[in-house]
Amino acid sequence: SSRLIVPIPERPKVISPIFKRSPDITKARATKSEQLLRIDDHDFTMRPGFGGPAVPVGVDVQVESLDAISEVDMDFTMTLYLRHYWKDDRLSFKSNTNQSMTFDGRLVKKIWVPDMFFVHSKKSFTHDTTTDNVMLRVYPDGKVLYSLRVTVTAMCSMDLSRFPLDTQTCSLEIESYAYTDDDLMLYWKEGNRSLNTDERISLSQFLIQEFHTTTKLAFYSSTGWYNRLYINFTLRRHIFFFLLQTYFPATLMVMLSWVSFWIDRRAVPARVPLGITTVLTMSTIITGVNASMPRVSYIKAVDVYLWISFVFVFLSVIEYAAVNYLSTLQERKERKLREKLPCTCGIAHPGMMSDCYSEVDVNTTGNYGMPEENGMRRERMLVELAMESDQMTGHVGSRAYSSIWIDTHAIDKYSRVIFPGSYILFNIIYWSIYS
C-alpha cells in the first residue's frame, strides 16, 4: 500500500516590529549657546588649567547698602554686588564681531565658577526677586565675568570700652572654600579701586569714615593656605543722641540734687524726697542704658559717667543725713545747757544782758522760731557765756557749744561749693580723655 504524504503547510513568519530607541528625556537638549561654548565637550567639575599654575581670580565689590549695626549681637548686615573675573579657555568661542555673550543663572550651574564664601558670616543669601540676581558674561577669548547680588550678615568684634564715644572697624572677609593658593589665586582686581560704595549710604547712629581693602593669607592646619580678601570699613558713632538721652538727664539729676543744699536743714519733708527721687532717677537711667547693651565684662565710658554721677547724687543724700544728725546732737546739748543755766542770769549780771542773750538769725544758724504763745512770738535764744579761767564766777563755758552750731551749718555752705566744683572738674577730665 502506498503512503499518503500530506505536506504540512509552513507556519507564517511573524515579523516583530522594530522599535526605535527613545531619546533620554531626562537629558535636556543643548541650547545653541551651549553648543557654541561646547559645554558638553569639557569636564567643568575641574578648575581651568588643572595641574598647572593657580588660576587667577580677580574680585571687585560694589557696596549697595550697609543695613544694620548691632552692638548686642556684635554683627553687621551689608548688601553688595560681588563680581569675579577669570579666564577659562574651555569657554572660548569664535566671533566675527568680538562681542561677549551674557547669560543668567541657568548656565552658571553647568560651568566652573569660583567657590567663594564669607568668612565669619552668620547668614547670607542671593537675591531672587524677580529672578535670581546672577549674571554671567563670556568673552570670545574665554574671559568670564560672574556677578551676583548678595546680602550677608557677618560678625564684627567690637570694643565698647569707649562707648558711646567709640570708633569701630569691621571687616567682611571673602575666601575660596575648597581651593588653596596652589589652585586659585584670589586678588583685588584694581586694589582699593576695586571697592566702590554708594554715596547715599548712611546710618542713623554711625558716620562711615572709610572703606578700604586688604589681602592676606589664611592658614588651616588640615587643608593649607588660602587667599583671603578683606573689605574694611571704619564707623564713628554719633554722640548727639546719647547726649540727649543719657548725659544731659544724668547731669540735670546731679544738679537737681544740689538744690537740697539751699533748703533749710529742718525741712525734712522737702530734702529727703528730693534726694530719693534723684537717686531713683539715676538708677532708671543706668538700667535703661545697660538694657540695650551686650553684657560685656569691662567698664564702658558711659558707665564711668553714669556711676560717678550716681555717686554725686548719693553723696548729696548722705550729706543731709550728716547735717541732720549733727543738728540733733546739738539740740540735745542745747537742751542740757539750758537746764543747767540759772533763770536769774540776766538779773545777777545786768551788764551782760546784751552778751548773754541775742536773737539768732535763721539764715546763720538754721533754727526755727518757737511757737507763738499768748499772742507773743518767742524766738529761740542762743545763750553764749564767756569761758573764764576764774572758776569763782560760777559761769559755765559754752563757746564750744556755739562753734558746733556754726560747723553744722557750714556743711551745707561748703557743699554748695565743693559738689559743683568737683563735678565740673570730673566733666573736664572725662571729656578730655574720651573725646
Residues 6+ apart with CB under 8 A from 235: 69, 167, 168, 169, 170, 203, 206, 207, 208, 209
Which helix (H) or strand (E) covers residue 208, if one does? strand 206-220
Express each pLDDT in 7-34 by its tens digit: 555 555 544 454 444 544 444 455 666 6
Residues 6+ apart with CB under 8 A from 213: 188, 191, 192, 194, 195, 229, 230, 231, 232
Q: What is the pLDDT of residue 13?
A: 54
Share of the chain residues as helix, strand and coil, in percent rounded to the nearest 5: 35, 25, 35
Q: What is the mean pLDDT of residues 141-163?
A: 95
Q: How many CB atoms lie within 10 A of CB 227?
A: 21
- DSSP state letter for 19: P
Give me the residue spans of the domains in the chain.
39-237, 241-333+422-434
- Domain 39-237: CATH architecture, name and number where available: Distorted Sandwich (2.70)
Q: How confident is the model at residue 283 (pLDDT cuts 50, 70, 90)?
A: very high
- Between CA 63 and CA 197 the distance in angstroms is 5
- Between CA 119 and CA 330 the distance in angstroms is 73
Minimum mean pLDDT range among 4-18, 106-120, 377-391, 419-433: 377-391
- Between CA 86 and CA 59 the distance in angstroms is 9
Express each pLDDT in 156-169 by its tens digit: 999 999 999 999 99
Question: CB–CB of 93/140 below 8 Å?
Answer: yes
If you average pLDDT over each of 22-26, 280-284, 334-338, 378-382, which comes out highest?
Answer: 280-284
Question: Which has the higher per-residue pLDDT, 215 or 396?
Answer: 215
Q: What is the mean pLDDT of residues 210-235?
A: 94
Q: What is the pLDDT of residue 337?
A: 85
Question: CB–CB of 175/229 below 8 Å?
Answer: yes
351-375 as b/e, with b when 16 or more CB fall inside 10 Å?
eeeeebeeeeeeeebbbeeeeeeee
Question: Which has the higher per-residue pLDDT, 19 or 240?
Answer: 240
The residue assigned the cell 553684657 is 295
Q: What is the pLDDT of residue 366?
A: 42
Nearest to 275 by CA among 257, 259, 252: 257
Q: What is the pLDDT of residue 29?
A: 53
Q: What is the pLDDT of residue 227?
A: 96
pLDDT at residue 92 greater than cutoff 80: yes
Same fold: 39-237 with 241-333+422-434: no
pLDDT at residue 402 greater than cutoff 50: no
Of 3.40.50.11540, 1.20.58.390, 3.40.50.720, 1.10.287.70, which CATH number belongs to 241-333+422-434?
1.20.58.390
Q: What is the mean pLDDT of residues 338-354?
A: 53
pLDDT at residue 107 greater than cutoff 80: yes
Question: Which has the higher per-residue pLDDT, 248 or 129?
Answer: 248
Of the CA atoms within 13 Å of residue 201, those in its CB half-sphere come to 23
Q: What is the mean pLDDT of residues 201-209?
A: 90
- Cα of first residue to Cα of last residue in the chain, in angstroms, is 139
The residue assigned the cell 542713623 is 204
